[in-house]
Copies of this chain bind each other. A is one copy, B any other.
Amino acid sequence: MDIADAIKNRRSCRDFLPEPIDESTIEQILQAAISAPSPANNQPWEFVVITNQDVKARIYAEADERRKALFQKSGWKWVDRYNVEFLKRVPVIVCVTGDPTKTGADMFTEGGGVAYQHACAAAIQNMLLTAYSLGLSSLWFTLFDKDVVRKILDIAPDRDPLALICIGKPGGELFVTPRKPLAEKVTYLR
Contact = CB atoms under 8 A, between A and B. Distances in A.
Interface in A155-189: 162-163, 177-180, 182, 185-189
Given A47-B186, A50-B189, A189-B52, A133 B3 contact: yes
Interface in A33-90: 34-37, 39-41, 43, 45-52, 55, 70, 73-74, 78-79
A78 to B, nearest CB: 8
A151 interface: no
A97 to B, nearest CB: 10
A34 B128 contact: no
A158 B27 CA distance: 40
Interface string A111-141: 1001101111110111011100100000010
Interface in A1-28: 1-8, 10, 12, 23, 27-28
Interface of A: 1-8, 10, 12, 23, 27-28, 30-32, 34-37, 39-41, 43, 45-52, 55, 70, 73-74, 78-79, 104-106, 108-111, 114-115, 117-122, 124-126, 128-130, 133, 140, 142-143, 145-146, 153, 162-163, 177-180, 182, 185-190
A126 B6 CA distance: 10
Given A40-B78, A46-B185, 14 more contacts: A3-B3, A3-B5, A10-B35, A27-B182, A31-B182, A37-B128, A46-B186, A49-B188, A51-B188, A55-B189, A74-B108, A79-B105, A109-B146, A129-B129
